[in-house]
Copies of this chain bind each other. A is one copy, B any other.
Amino acid sequence: MQIPILVDEASAVGLQDQIFDQIHTLILDGRLPAGSALPASRSLARDLGVSRNTVLGAYQRLAEQGLVRTREQAGTYVAPHQHALGPRHALHTPDDPQDAQDDLGAALQRRLRFRSRPHRVLSPHPVPPHYDFWIGQVDPRLYPTRAWRTLIARMLAAPAEPLCRYGDPQGLPQLRAAIAAYVGAARGIATDASRVLITNGIQEGLSLLARLLVRPGVEVALEDPCYRGASSVFADHGARLCPVPVDGDGIDPAALPPSAALVYATPSHQYPMGATLSLARREALLAWGRRAGAYIVEDDYDSDFYYDEAPLPALRSDDRHDQVIYLGTFSKCLGAGLRLGYMILPRRLVGPARAAKALLSNCQPWLDQAALAAFVAEGDHAHHLRQLRRICAARRDHLRAAIAHQFPGARVAGAHSGMHLAVHLPPLMPGAQQIEPAARRAGVGVYGVESANAQLFDARRSGALDRFLLFGYAALDETAISEAILALRRTIDTLR
């Protein structure tokens, strides 16, 4: 049983209240009639990415109001109607204007096109902890402020034409050309501006792909666990999600269903577990795509960050059949507030994707695109990346040393590249679910797999994955890292 619920982490309203309110409305509107089963608390909690206690608390309050009943072994059901509608009908006659307004409200509420699958909104946490190892967070102190100000001022010194006109739905041509040259040099992708489409971050790229390629019931294969922004947007378009387990070599192509229309993967640094797809599996993934006649979506979200050796080229660079869709972003190397991502598209997708973007929002705003085009084309970007890599490598080394010092026996994975690493906790330490809230009370944000905006599909693996803690290190300097890891050790000591 699926019910249409949305929860919004950044809302001032608590998660339990949001769940309670929405089920309450569904029952009073008659969209959940008497006798309907509510979803099992465990499965609803998983879909929404909230704790099971949050869901149980909401169910409990619904039961206290007489709206639902819980039967042993059989789950939670909507109670008979006289209970549900009693109070309101006792207060108003049908001719009461207040009631007419309520009826209109209920009618309008029914017009909402709810999704079959609940999902959680991806919002920044309203009050970040003092030391925050949130993944993908970049350090504002490293922003190339001076170069950026100069470029923005230069763009605004020219006549205001491009501020006043609709731009190309595919994106500013200069920026597309600069990106094509950049991914050629940095990621081995032979392409040109005609294949690049500028998006409002990778999230919009995923949304456009879902719109173009997913119909209700279409199978979409994903890594388990995977980035929740991807699984949510495919589910939102009605996809049947087919999770494929990841291990130390990334996603296992042997486990991909032959009937999937596309697979979403993060080959260079698996989100969130940090693995790099092995060479053998890259080959197997491409071969699977050819056999299945499927698209392969390569989300290369943090590939600008590599340290010890040059990274493998993008999967797209090995794509001889034009079936890999490459997603890149400037959210990590510059900042998410720019909202500038891009896709490198197979030839046959360019026209449809351009048309979809035009229909969706006409085009991206001009100013940041223009400044970024010059930033990339004139070499500022390459310079900035070299500096970023040097600083982030030092932070990573510092974090690794601090972890080794404070938590002997912890194993670190995914540290060769990216902006976060995964720590496999030693056997006697408490798990991530226990550490996370205690650390937060001590001012340290560390994240278990599910808290890090990752969707976990196979509940049987949640115990094993609870043994991992994830640390995004790009936004914290060495001093902060030392202080945070010390505070974390002390916190964990109190838990044993």
Contact = CB atoms under 8 A, between A and B. Distances in A.
Interface in A369-415: none
Interface stretch (A135-143, A265-273, A420-428): A135-143
Contacts of A108: 293-295, 322-323, 346, 348
Contact of A143 (B11, B163, B262, B339): B163
Residue of A160, A334, A348 with most chain B CB atoms under a 10 A cut-off? A160
B362 A336 contact: yes
Contact of A359 (B107, B119, B214, B336): B119
B168 A361 contact: no
Contacts of A360: 203-204, 207, 360
Contacts of A187: none
Interface residues of A, number: 95
B213 A112 contact: yes
A149 B140 contact: no
Given A111-B294, A349-B112, A367-B368, A149 B143 contact: no
Number of copies of chain A assembled together:
2
A351 B204 CA distance: 19
Contacts of A322: 105, 108
B359 A232 contact: yes
A204 B122 CA distance: 19
A262 B156 CA distance: 41
Contact of A212 (B107, B112, B229): B112
Nearest to A114: B352
A354 interface: yes
Interface of A: 6, 8, 10-11, 100-101, 103-105, 107-114, 119, 121-124, 137-141, 143, 145, 148-149, 152-153, 156-157, 159-169, 199-201, 203-204, 207, 211-215, 229, 232-233, 236, 261-262, 290, 293-295, 321-323, 334-340, 346, 348-349, 351-352, 354-355, 358-368
Given A8-B358, A108-B293, A165-B336, 15 more contacts: A104-B321, A105-B348, A112-B213, A112-B348, A121-B359, A137-B165, A140-B160, A166-B337, A167-B337, A204-B361, A338-B366, A339-B362, A339-B366, A365-B365, A367-B367
